[in-house]
Amino acid sequence: MSTRPSHSVVSVRRQAFTLIELLVVIAIIAILAAILFPVFAQARAKARQATCTSNLKQLVTATIMYQQDYDGAFPYWNWWFQADTDSGCGSRGNPELDAG
């Protein structure tokens, strides 16, 4: 019977990575990240631009709907700052409260 382990010392050492191999992998990952970073930055910029375009379209749609509901009148530019009614609601931009 042999007391020798089934795995030799050489095979145990071969399972680990060397420092050079780890540095090469880290360098490759850094190069790939440097290449892909501008691509992701451009994609984020386009996504922000698409979001802004969508928000502007929603504002235009809301303004058109307001005009259709209130005989072509535009909403007041500062309607959200006014709170001069007894109910505490702002009256500017709401023709029902302005009327009486």
- At 10-32, the pLDDT tens digits run 555 567 889 999 999 999 999 99
Q: How far apart are CA 77 and CA 92, in angstroms?
A: 9
CB 97 within 8 A of CB 82: no
Place of tokens 């009614």: 85
Long-range residue pairs from 23-29, CB within 8 A, at least 24 positions apart, any chain: none
What share of the chain in percent tops pLDDT 70? 62
The one-letter amino acid at 49: Q
What residues does each domain of the chain span? 17-98
Q: Per-residue pLDDT tens for 29-43? A: 999 999 999 999 999
* Single pTM value for the model: 0.47
